Amino acid sequence: MLSLFRTFNLRYLIKHKLRTTTIIFGVALGVIMVVSTMLVNQSILRSYRSLVDKAAGKTDLQVMSNTDSGLPASMANEVASVKGVKAAIPVVHRDGFVFIEDKQSGVLLVYGIDPNKDKVARDYEFIAGRQVKTGEDDAVVITKTWARENNLKIGDRIGFAGVEGIKRFKIVGLLANKGPGQINAGLFAVIDINAARVLFNRIGKVDQVDVVLEDEEKPKVVQSRIDTRLDGRAEVEIPATRGLEVQKTLEGMAFFLNLAAMLAVFVGAFIIFNNLEMSVEERRFGISVLRALGLGRKKIFSLVVLEAILLGFVGSAFGIIMGSLLAKAMSQALAGFVVTELRMRATDLGLTPQILLIGVLLGPVVSAAASVGPASRMLKVSPIEALKPFETAWRPKSSAWKLTISTLVFLIGVGLLTVGLFIPKFLDIISKDTRQLANYLMLAILISFLGSVLLMPHLLSTLLSILIRCGRLCSFTLRMVFDNMRRVPGRTAATITGMMIAIAMMIAVTCHAGRLVKKLSMLREKSFAPDW
Amino acid sequence: MVNKVEMKDVSKIYKRGKSEFRALNGISLSIKEGEFLSVMGPSGSGKSTLLHLIGALDKPTSGNILIDSIALSSLSDDDLSQIRREKVGFIFQQFNLLPTLTARENVLLPLKIANRVSSEAYRYADEIIETVGLKEFNNHLPEEMSGGQMQRVGIARALVIRPSIILADEPTGNLDSKTGEEILNLLKGCQEQYKQTIVMVTHDAKAAAYGDRIIRLKDGQIEEEMEVTNALPISNI
């Protein structure tokens, strides 16, 4: 079998390089999108966690301003006096434009802290140097990660753009890559709270009060007490729940990226199907010769599927490499977006065994699935065709049961989608879990597309028959074109459906991306509002 | 001598829509081991159908066909494929070589299909390639060979599995007369050298005369049957 595969299939693939490359590209397209999407999703979610979770530390509650003007500094003492509060830690935080040797070198999330109080909320671990001291107005602590990236060491000076121009700070400590050292993926600096007030024009103000509770106090109970005390002058939130909205938005982005990846796999499958169809049709005569020489139907089927699986593996390998590179590029583009909008950066682009396995298997599985149609058609090749090659010209037959099934699948898909989108109460019945709802919608979209794929050849055949009958309206050349398209409706339909899905995908992703940017900007402004 | 092929009252009817076409009509025929049988007849007389049925490419509508005493009528598609790969060698009018394979690879193809990839089988293949005079063309692709050379490859490919019977469908139909004569001489030589049973369909009386026996078909039936002797003038065929 393998020996036959080497001579019959491999030789053909090597000779028809363009077709082989196109099939591999089709496989790679899906794998690239899936791998890069998974990597970016993983990266964004981890970055988000590094921003919110690490920043919160041991904080149970956070008191934040409900306007841009910040909170009065006295509010920390007011909160500290509430029953059940162990410590109320004032924080000034801003995004600071940082300068190294007078060159602007990005943006750091700067925390202005009270060094004595802050250690209750966060465990700072240093690999070199020390924490800033109370009242030390020119000392800064940065992370080991960012120091390494910018060749900085203890004693070096960096500047922050403030209301009075660039103010220089001396690096007195380097944070280890854990706990607060991981905040904002290392794009983080700590200065004394008073220095931060002067730098960012927050005299007499704080941006946030982090609250640590007495043992056995319930956050919700104390939250209610603080709310009563502050009487609407500030918002009191539990950090874990404060992040939920952002997390939900990011999951929305992940859903759309997953959808785009899934559709890319779909489009890729059409490219594979189309080219395999042409490729096996070209070899139809060769296959009839093999049949005449005694090759059984099952082996013919296996040869075609095996060829698809091999191309699938090559496509997967190519896709994994390209997907990783694309993820880096996407993450850099996102970092651009993230740095300007969210001030966080995408990290952890490493291939996990799970992503690698999915990438490796996706290509062969999709290719094998796409090859079932062409391979099944080759099962019908009669060995007699080898003796009378000019008498056989394959014309597909449309059947009523195929049309019925196609219509049914299409209607089920559209029905599920319509119910999901326009009858919100129905979704409540299915589940309240947003992930389950997303999966439901994804399935509905997939079934609708599958239905349209199955239905397209029938619609196309009917349409082309009508067009051909309009003989007077069409030129001879055009009629020939229509007839040629009608001869292989499966292939023609695959091309049209592939294009249709690609366009639908582009429109959906573009619309969603715009909405997402708006929403994330809004959320970011709420949490870490810049003052420029 | 043992009968390699036996046909007993074989009929083949093709249905086209509501009409029927009787391609073979109750043919009975025996082909002996080592015999070279030529089949002649006008277009539509049933020559090709006869070849398809003996070659296990198709099944008769009624009657029975036996190759090496194996009845083909009751066999499944997989079993018929097995008969083709183990007992039948085909020589085609269009040569039917795979364009991406070299001459030697085309010859080895039936061995690979039958999964007979032993060194002994390969040695035999090389011997056959030498017999048909293609040793120097081992690594040539079909597009680099003449019609005569391609048909030699076709003959070698048919012989390589040591088939019970070789079926040749107009083997000289695509060749000029001189090359056609060479190919027929080669076929005759193979018959003698390997004691090979051959059935050849042809329109050409001169080609048919290379056989030991000639049958002439008409309207799906054997109209005439004759032994070929040296004394038989071609005009009589």
The overall pTM is greater than 0.80: no
Predicted local confidence at residue A194, as pLDDT: 92
Q: In the prediction, which pLDDT does A334 show?
A: 61
Between CA A408 and CA B170 the distance in angstroms is: 52
Nearest 5 degrees, angle CA A273-CA A275-CA A281?
100
Q: Are A259 and A510 in contact (CB under 8 A)?
A: no
Give the separation between CA A420 and CA B171, rounded to whole angstroms.
Answer: 67
Report the C-alpha gap between B142 and A70 in whole angstroms: 85
Q: Which of A5, A6, A7, A279 to mutate to test the interface with B (most CBs of B within 10 A)?
A: A7
Closest CA to B158 of B84, B51, B49, B71: B84
Q: Where residue A391 falls among pLDDT bands split at 50, 70, 90?
A: very low
Predicted pLDDT at A144: 92
Q: What pLDDT does A524 receive? A: 56
C-beta separation of B7 from B215 below 8 A: no
| Backbone φ, ψ for residue A89 (5° rounding) | -110, 115
CB atoms A294 and B98 under 8 Å: no
pLDDT at A54 over 70: no
Chain A closest-CA separation from residue B82 CA (Å): 6
- Asked if A290 and B109 come within 8 Å (Cβ–Cβ), the reply is yes
- Give per-residue pLDDT as tens, A124-143: 899 999 999 998 989 999 99
In chain A, whose CA is at the least distance from the CA of B90?
A293
Q: Is B78 in contact with A297 (CB distance < 8 Å)?
A: yes
Winning range, highest mean pLDDT, from A182-186, A312-316, A320-324: A312-316
How confident is the model over B65-75, as a mean pLDDT? 88
Does B51 sit within 8 Å of A294, measured CB to CB?
no
Name the average pLDDT for chain B. 86
Greater confidence (B27 vs A258) lies with B27
Quick check: B71 pLDDT over 60? yes
A288, A387, A388, best to mutate vs chain B, most B CBs in 10 Å: A387
What does each C-alpha distance from A467 to A477, A515, B115 come to in angstroms?
13, 42, 51
Which residues are CB-contacts of A487 (< 8 A; sequence separation ≥ 6)? A395, A396
The mean pLDDT value for A22-30 works out to 86
Under an 8 A CB cutoff, do B113 and A294 touch?
Answer: yes
Would the pLDDT of A345 be above 70?
A: no
Q: Which residue does chain A place closest to B102, by CA atoms?
A: A7
Q: Rounded to a whole number, what is the distance in Å from the CA of B78 to chain A's nearest CA?
A: 6
Torsions phi, psi for B227 (to 5 deg): -85, 140
Q: Tell me the pLDDT tens digit for each residue of A434-474.
A: 666 777 777 888 788 788 877 877 777 777 777 766 665 56
pLDDT of residue A163: 81
**In this predicted model, what pLDDT tens digit does every residue of A418-429 receive, in sequence order?**
887 777 666 666
* CA distance readout (Å), A202 to A115, A132, A358, A392, A465: 18, 19, 50, 85, 75
- Please write the tens of the pLDDT for every residue from B84-136: 998 999 888 888 888 888 889 899 889 888 888 788 888 888 888 888 888 88
Higher pLDDT, A430 or A410: A410
Q: How many helices (H) and strands (E) does chain A have?
A: 18, 12
Across B228-233, average pLDDT: 61
pLDDT at A306 over 70: yes
Beta strands A85-100 and A157-162 are antiparallel
- Is B34 exposed, middle or buried (CB count within 10 Å of its CB: 0-12, 13-18, 19+)? middle
Q: Which domains does chain B have, with CATH numbers?
A: 34-60+77-230 (3.40.50.300)
**Cβ A68 vs Cβ A529: under 8 Å:** yes
pLDDT value of residue A531: 40
For B81, the closest of A295, A384, A389 (CB atoms) is A295
* Distance (Å) of CA A129 to CA A132, A142, A158, A171: 10, 10, 16, 9
Contact of B226 with B51, CB cutoff 8 Å? no
* CA of A278 vs chain B CAs: smallest distance (Å): 17
The pLDDT confidence band at residue A30, using thresholds 50, 70 and 90, is confident
Q: Supply the pLDDT for residue A25.
A: 87
A292/B84 touch (CB, cutoff 8 Å), yes or no: yes
Cβ distance of A387 and B92 shorter than 8 Å: yes
User: pLDDT tens, A137-166?
Assistant: 899 999 998 999 899 999 999 999 888 888
Banded model confidence at residue B179, pLDDT cuts 50, 70, 90: confident
Q: Return the sign of the alpha-carbon dihedral for residues A241, A242, A246, A252.
A: positive
pLDDT at A88: 92
The residue behind tokens 């699948």 is A409
Contact residues, chain A, for B169 at CB < 8 Å: 387
Task: Please determine, for residue B143, whether its predicted confidence score (pLDDT) is greater than 70.
Answer: yes
Contact, A3 vs B112, CB < 8 A?
yes
Percent pLDDT > 70 in chain A is 76
Residue A268: what pLDDT?
81
Q: Which chain B residue has the Cα nearest residue A286?
A: B98
**How far is Cα A472 from Cα B41, in angstroms, rounded to an integer?**
47
Mean predicted confidence (pLDDT) in B26-55? 89
Output the pLDDT for position A397.
55
pLDDT band at A333 (very low <50, low <70, confident <90, very high): low
Task: Nearest by CB to A386, from B96, B115, B157: name it.
Answer: B96
A195/A532: higher pLDDT: A195
pLDDT confidence of A392, banded at 50, 70, 90? very low
Q: Which phi-psi region, left, alpha or beta, contains residue B199 (left: φ > 0; alpha: ψ -120 to 50)?
A: beta
In the predicted structure, residue A530 carries a pLDDT above the cut 80: no
Is the confidence at residue A342, as pLDDT, over 50?
A: no
- Residue % of chain B over a pLDDT of 90: 17
Q: Is A265 or A461 the better-scoring residue by pLDDT?
A: A265
- The 10s digit of each residue's pLDDT in B72-86 is 888 888 899 999 998
pLDDT score for A41: 75
* 8 Å CB contact of B81 and A294: yes
CB contact under 8 A, A289 and B96: yes
Say yes or no to pLDDT of A348 above 60. Answer: no
Residue whose C-alpha is closest to residue A392's, from A403, A400, A380: A380
d(CA A298, CA A277): 18
Categorize the per-residue pLDDT at A341 as very low, low, confident or very high, splitting at 50, 70 and 90: very low
User: What are the tokens at A156?
Assistant: 């070096």
pLDDT at B95: 85
CA distance linking residue B188 with residue B17, whole number of Å: 42
Distance CA A370, CA A268 (A): 9
